[in-house]
């Protein structure tokens, strides 16, 4: 199965992606995760994208197309994939459709999750991520205190190297969140409508619990 998951930042794409990957046995490709790992490792790619990412802007289409072309040619994606964070622009959407056409593949379902802007700002301001398993959590659900270990994989804080188990993303400040929402509306929504010309697309209501949204997605994927 090949799935694309889209939606504004903080709508629950990452959380829902983990569930879909578990249910469908496909490989999760998160372009944001790939870029964040590159930044953490200090690679050439990481150095190129760090400033743009921290400001909540988009990395260039050329760079992203190159990255995704390479990723989709790797062995672990042969049995299916879930694209999370790509495409982000009309050009990337057209580029993906062309790339898949060339290798005679199709996207089985494009999922577009939505939620009101105020809900997104509220969720993102408290979002924290595990440094090891990348699971995403919210401080509200954790008593508003950052735990010293990850409740999902057990990764513990490394005090001697000042490395907390869970971290807040550099682009999760209120100002940057509002900018990223604007970028989503202007640049990424048009990408969804381009994909709709090629593949089945379902709009999913992102309000409610993780389980409720997950059920809506599972029903669509059935």
Catalytic choice (2, 36, 123, 180): 180
- Residue number of the CB closest to ligand AMP reads 32
Size of site (CB under 6 A) for ligand AMP: 18
39 binds ligand AMP (CB under 6 A): no
The yes or no reply on residue 184 touching ligand AMP (CB under 6 A) is no
| Residue 20, CA distances (Å) to 5, 70, 151, 168, 209 in order | 10, 23, 20, 24, 16
d(CA 218, CA 222): 6
Stretch that binds ligand AMP, among 53-61, 104-112, 142-150, 155-163 (CB under 6 A): 53-61
d(CA 99, CA 85): 17
Closer to ligand AMP at the Cβ: 134 or 155?
134
Q: Of 2, 36, 123, 127, which residue is the catalytic one?
A: 127
Token pair for 143: 């008593």
Tell me: does residue 86 bind ligand AMP (CB under 6 A): yes
Per the CB < 8 A criterion, the answer to whether 133 and 153 are in contact is yes
2, 7, 8, 9: which one binds ligand AMP (CB under 6 A): 9
> Closest separation between CB of residue 197 and ligand AMP, Å?
19
Q: Least separation, in Å, of the C-beta of 40 and ligand AMP?
A: 13
Q: Is 113 a binder of ligand AMP (CB under 6 A)?
A: no
| 131 vs 168: CA distance, rounded Å | 10
In the DSSP assignment, the letter for residue 145 is S
Task: By CB under 6 A, name the one of 6, 21, 29, 58 that touches ligand AMP.
Answer: 58
Q: At CA 153, angle to CA 79 and CA 50, rounded to 5?
A: 75
Asked about 169 being catalytic, the answer comes back as yes
Alpha carbon of 80 to those of 15, 146, 166, 179: distances in Å?
Answer: 19, 35, 30, 33
Are the CB atoms for 110 and 95 separated by under 8 Å? no
180 catalytic per annotation: yes
31 binds ligand AMP (CB under 6 A): yes
Which residues have C-beta within 8 Å of that of residue 60, sequence separation ≥ 6? Answer: none
Options 7, 8, 12, 56; binder of ligand AMP; rule CB under 6 A: 56
Which entry of 2, 36, 123, 169 is annotated as an active-site residue?
169
Residues that bind ligand AMP (CB under 6 A): 9, 31-32, 35, 52-53, 56-59, 64, 85-88, 92, 171, 180
List active site positions: 13, 88, 127, 169, 180
């Amino acid at each position: 199965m090949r799935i694309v998951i889209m939606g504004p930042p903080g709508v629950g794409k990452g959380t829902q992606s983990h569930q879909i990957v578990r249910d469908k046995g496909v490989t999760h490709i998160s372009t944001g995760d790939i870029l964040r790992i590159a930044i953490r490792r200090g690679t050439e790619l990481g150095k190129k994208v760090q400033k743009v990412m921290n400001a909540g802007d988009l990395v260039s289409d050329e760079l992203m197309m190159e990255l995704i072309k390479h990723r989709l040619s790797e062995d672990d994606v042969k049995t299916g994939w879930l694209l999370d964070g790509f495409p982000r622009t009309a050009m990337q959407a057209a580029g993906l459709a062309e790339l898949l056409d060339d290798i005679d593949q199709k996207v089985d379902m494009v999922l577009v999750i939505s939620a009101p802007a105020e809900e997104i700002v509220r969720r993102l301001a408290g979002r924290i991520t595990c440094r090891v398993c990348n699971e995403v959590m919210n401080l509200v659900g954790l008593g508003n205190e950052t735990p010293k270990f990850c409740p999902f994989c057990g990764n513990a804080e490394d005090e001697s190297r000042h490395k907390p188990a869970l971290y807040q993303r550099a682009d999760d400040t209120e100002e940057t969140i509002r900018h990223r929402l604007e970028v989503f509306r202007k640049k990424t929504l048009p990408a969804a409508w381009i994909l709709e010309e090629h593949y089945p697309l379902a709009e999913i209501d992102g309000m409610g619990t993780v389980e409720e949204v997950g059920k809506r997605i599972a029903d669509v994927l059935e």
